[in-house]
């Protein structure tokens, strides 16, 4: 197994969360920008998590000359099938703050009855080497979206994502509980087994 992986993302929040999830399963990783110059990743034009993650990983591995891990993730709401999903960040705007993105989601789910606020967070991780080899895994977490933001242990969608078994949002759970539950944590576990 590679000793230290670089995370192929220009998003510091996503990179930090992914590094924590990978670290939970013994994989040391850090955002590539800590040691390498900034890359302009190709524009995501596909509606496939796998294609997006592999494209980012291969691009970074070839341009940086080292093994990398890339993530493509999204929020899926079955009651709103034409919104969010693999294009969540693109649809909501990656330059908008996590708080404001959450407010847009709250506006979308508010008319829905509680039973229709079921949502799944999905993460696809692709590990790639400069020689073109790749390993791809996916992780999911299903819960309910609530119409207000709660929790300070993490940010983003975690503040809306209610887990009935815990009676809390993901953001109300400390990392020791949260990381193995999250979509990225579940994908990281699978990746650790395959590397």
Cα(32)–Cα(104) distance, rounded to whole angstroms? 30
Q: Which two tokens stand for residue 40?
A: 């302009």
Choosing from 72, 82, 131, 158, the catalytic residue is 72
Distance CA 50, CA 3 (A): 24
Q: Report the pLDDT value the prediction gives residue 41, as an integer from 0 to 100.
A: 94
CA distance linking residue 90 with residue 87, whole number of Å: 5
Which tens digit of pLDDT belongs to each residue from 106-156? 999 999 998 999 999 999 999 999 999 999 999 999 999 999 999 999 988
Q: Indicate if 116 belongs to the active site.
A: no
What are the sequence ranges of the domains in the chain? 4-194
Task: State the chain's mean pLDDT as an integer.
Answer: 90
Q: Where are the alpha helices (DSSP H) in the chain?
A: 12-24, 49-64, 88-92, 98-109, 175-181, 183-194
CATH 3.90.950.10 for the 4-194 domain, yes or no: yes
Task: Judge whether 165 and 173 are in contact, CB under 8 Å.
Answer: no
Q: What is the percent of the chain with per-residue pLDDT over 90, rounded to a whole number? A: 75
């Amino acid at each position: 197994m590679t000793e230290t992986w670089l995370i192929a993302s220009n998003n510091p929040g996503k990179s930090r969360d992914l590094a924590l999830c990978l670290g939970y399963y013994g994989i040391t990783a850090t955002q590539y920008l800590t040691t390498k110059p900034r890359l302009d990743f190709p524009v995501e034009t596909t509606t496939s998590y796998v294609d997006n993650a592999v494209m980012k990983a291969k691009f970074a591995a070839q341009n940086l000359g080292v093994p990398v891990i890339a993530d493509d993730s999204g929020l899926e709401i079955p009651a709103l099938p034409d919104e969010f999903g693999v294009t969540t960040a693109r649809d909501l705007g990656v330059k908008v703050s996590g708080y404001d993105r959450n407010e847009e989601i709250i506006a979308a789910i508010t008319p829905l009855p509680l039973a229709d606020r079921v949502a799944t967070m999905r993460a696809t991780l692709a590990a790639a080497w400069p020689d073109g080899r790749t390993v791809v895994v996916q992780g999911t977490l299903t819960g309910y979206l609530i119409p207000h933001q709660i929790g300070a242990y993490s940010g983003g969608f975690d503040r809306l994502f209610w887990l009935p078994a815990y009676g809390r949002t993901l953001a109300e759970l400390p990392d020791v509980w949260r990381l193995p539950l999250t979509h990225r944590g579940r994908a990281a576990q699978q990746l650790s087994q395959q590397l």
